[in-house]
Structure 1
């Protein structure tokens, strides 16, 4: 089905006030946003309107029962000025997977894609062209229906907002391996991009920051013997010349960047193992000098190298390598995203 999208343009653009050479991440917002309402058992036609606050009743169920999910995507410009997306249908599929788990109505893929493309056309001038910059795209869905009774809502909103952004992380990232708190549990919603997952991360992360670390490496909820994610990112560990990452499960997000990195590593003949990684294995590798790299992967940062980690009151530094896998793989994926290299897997979508 093809949705009719009504567009109301902003009277005066804010773009002249934006310094595209010094963009923060995710805090400068483009002129327009897309909104689509689920009501009376069906999704209505999306609309594109000027970016502005939204009005909700105090009894809207998002405030009380947390039915909220989101995605993270990026749009790029290539050297010819073409607008490019990277594996956008994967984001839509994952959004709907999250929606199913939180009993939120799924959005038809064609409605999602058409709305996203129209929004990007309207705010085309907001897509940065500077090296390392992109237009960050945040689709999200939440319960807008009213009522204090503990049950799924009868109305929902899909919204898409965008933000021209520079690099997500800068400088060294030092992490603490978590021994007490868990990000998610078996049978829970860890695999979904649910807002509550991230809210629950903030307290243990703040404790780690107070100890001098930047982020937390999450371990399994039962024994805390196996590493699973790094902050809000999937994690990779390089021991000797083999790249390791944890298998996805109820607790671990099926990261689109993670999947892409696994494929690119195979393309580049980098040995990869997808298996459980014990904390003890990582510590022993650090002590023996065979631990070469650790890095997080995700849409925002793409790849974020980890320079050291703490565990049981002891700190371990990782070596500085001349040609780390993190740099090789980051260049490989960003070159595909920005149309600087051949796209062997059909990941790039041009508007």
Structure 2
């Protein structure tokens, strides 16, 4: 029984990064061996075990054979005879197919270190094409490593194109598509994820009805340089979508979390206000009402960040003035209005009038 550190942890160490998590491969063991040592088995498709002390994942070395459509269409084989090389050859990229033994020696049968030095994303073997999810994974890796000078090998690009042409991407579940897209939003250049999908003509297969033009790529790149907020990065993609684009249906289809959907709605519904050269205090207050600032104050911050990052020069003093005026307007409550004898719909009308007055006066004075 031998244990090896594999994948991203080894790659990141070679790139000079501190690995965020560590994955291990175990050669020469059975599920029974692992359980006898206190490992807890998880996963249904193949045996993965959690270390009793660190909680890190240890997977038995395995091989895979394509047996159906999509990224789940595989028969998995594992037993003590499966070698480390057998396990590494099934991985996607050479830079992810490097292992490190317990003494710190590297096992690199596919020249992953060379590709790290030459800054190339290259497939390990022709079996690369068997898993359509790899199209999205390579797009995500490009979004992460492009800033370091990485490019995609031409032969790998050809295989990616073959996978798209085959129609295999249509078998990906929406949840897996969203998971890869969300991960790409945390990278230095998330627009590269969408850019590669466009280059491969894969966007319609995985993100149906979403228009990804140069405008969307530019706005996403600009937002990403200014902020690491993944919700705002996501939202910027929806500025400039066609009027008939159904955002709710799109988000529902991909099971996109509500916090992302709400940010996208803000960008999509109010894009004319976002790009307008100047907004009056009255327009700002109407916006507060429309986005329900009183219950969701963070939406004003999102709007201002989008507006002054993507369309206008930053005006920190003015941004803070709007936030301060809005907060003071929010301090006007309904109880005092009710105490003055207002009732029914008149309460809401008077509350809005007083809040508007406070907001506009405060903003004008700043």
TM-score, normalised by the number of residues in structure 2: 0.28
Larger Rg: 2
With a CA cutoff of 8 Å and minimum separation of 6, indicate the structure with the bigger relative contact order. 1
Relative to the length of structure 1, the TM-score reads: 0.28
More strand by share: 1
Structure richer in helix, relative to its length: 2
